[in-house]
Amino acid sequence: MSARITTVVLLGWLLLVLVFIFAPIVAAVVFSFNSDRFPTIPLGSFTTHWYDTIFADAEIGEAARNSIIVSLSTSVIATMLGFATAYTDYRYSFRLKGPYLALILLPPTIPLIIMALAMLAWLSWIGASGQLWSIIIAHSVLTAPFAMAIIRLRLNQIDPNLEAAAWNLGSSEWRALRSVILPFCRPAIVSAACLTAAVSFDEFAVAWFVSGLNKTVPVIILEIVQGNIDPQVNAIGSLVFLTSITLVVLAQVFFISRIGRT
C-alpha cells in the first residue's frame, strides 16, 4: 500500500516539474494566438495576426534566414569536428591524450558571456568579426564538444575488431573508415547534427556579441522586447521552440533507438 502512495506522490512531483518547465512555453504559445496586445487574462479572441506580421516583416525574415544558415553550417562543421576528435580518441592512444580530451571538452564549461567576449575580442583582432561566418565559427567551437560526446559514446560500443575485420577483408584504412566506422556511427552522427543545429539556432549571447549587423532570431527577439511590449515575440518564440524541440526529439529518436543496440 505504501509503495502505491509513494508512486502517486512521485508521479505528482514529476507532473509539477513538467508544469514548471513547460507552463511558460505554453503561455507564450497561447498568447501568440491572442488578439490582445497585452498578455492578460481573460484572453481576447483567437488570431493568427501576429504570425502574419512576423512573416511580413523583412527584418525578421532576414534574421530567420541568418539563423538557418548559421545553424546548418554550424551543424555540419561541428559534427565533422566532433567525429574527427571522437575517432582520434577511439583509434589512437598517445601521451597527453588526457589534456587533449580535456581541452576539447572545455568550451561548454566556460560561462557563455566570457566565451562571447573572448570570441569578439579574438575575431575582431584577426579582422573576422561582424560577419555571418563569425557566428558560424563561434557556434562551431561551442557545439563541437556535444557532437564529440555523442559520437564517442557510440564508438565506445563498437567491437574493437570491427575495423580490423574490414582491413583483413581487403579495405584500406580510408575505405574501412567509410564503409565500417561511418555506417556504424550514423545514428550518432545524425543525432549530433540535430543537436548542434538546435543549440546554434537558440544561442543568443555569443551571436549577439559577434554578429554585428547580421542578426539571428534570438538577437532580434531581444531587440523587439527592448523596444516595447509586442506579442510578435510570442509568435517568434513559439516557432523557435517548435524548431528546437523538433531537432532535439529527432536527436533523441536516433540516439535512443539505435544507440541502445550494438
Can you tell me the distance from the alpha carbon of 56 to that of 60, in angstroms, rounded to the nearest whole number?
A: 8
C-beta atoms surrounding 110 within 10 Å: 13
Rounded to 5 degrees, φ, ψ at 34 are: -95, 135
Count of residues that bind another protein according to CB under 8 A = 22
With respect to another protein, which residue has the nearer C-beta, 161 or 228?
A: 161
The residue among 165 and 245 lying less far from another protein, judged by its C-beta, is 165
CB of 251 to another protein, least distance (A): 19
Side chain identity, residue 178: R
Q: For the window 186-205, what string marks contact with another protein as x by the rule CB under 8 A?
A: x-------------------
* Minimum separation from the CB atom of position 152 to another protein (A): 18
Within residues 129-188, the interface with another protein by CB under 8 A covers 159, 161-162, 164-173, 175-176, 179-180, 183-184, 186
Q: Which is nearer to another protein, 159 or 223 (CB)?
A: 159
Three-state secondary structure call for residue 203: coil
Kindly tell me the burial class for residue 77, based on how many C-beta atoms sit within 10 Å of its own C-beta (0-12, 13-18, 19 or more).
buried
Q: Any idea of the CA torsion for 124, 127, 132, 134, to the nearest 10 degrees?
A: -60
Q: Closer CB to another protein, residue 248 or residue 253? A: 253
- Least CB distance to another protein at residue 193 (A): 18
Cβ 169 to another protein shortest distance, Å: 4
CA dihedral 126, 132, 137, 138 (to 10 degrees): 90
CB of 155 to another protein, least distance (A): 13
Q: Report, in Å, the least distance between residue 174 CB and another protein.
A: 10
Tell the residue number behind the cell numbers 554585428, with chain if given. Answer: 212
Q: List the end-to-end C-alpha distance of the chain, in Å, as a whole number.
A: 40
* Spacing of C-alpha 45 from chain mean position: 35
The answer to whether residue 261 forms part of the interface with another protein (CB under 8 A) is yes
Radius of gyration for the chain, computed over Cα atoms and rounded to the nearest angstrom? 22
Nearer to another protein, 37 or 175 (CB): 175
Query: Binding residues for another protein, per CB under 8 A?
Result: 159, 161-162, 164-173, 175-176, 179-180, 183-184, 186, 261-262
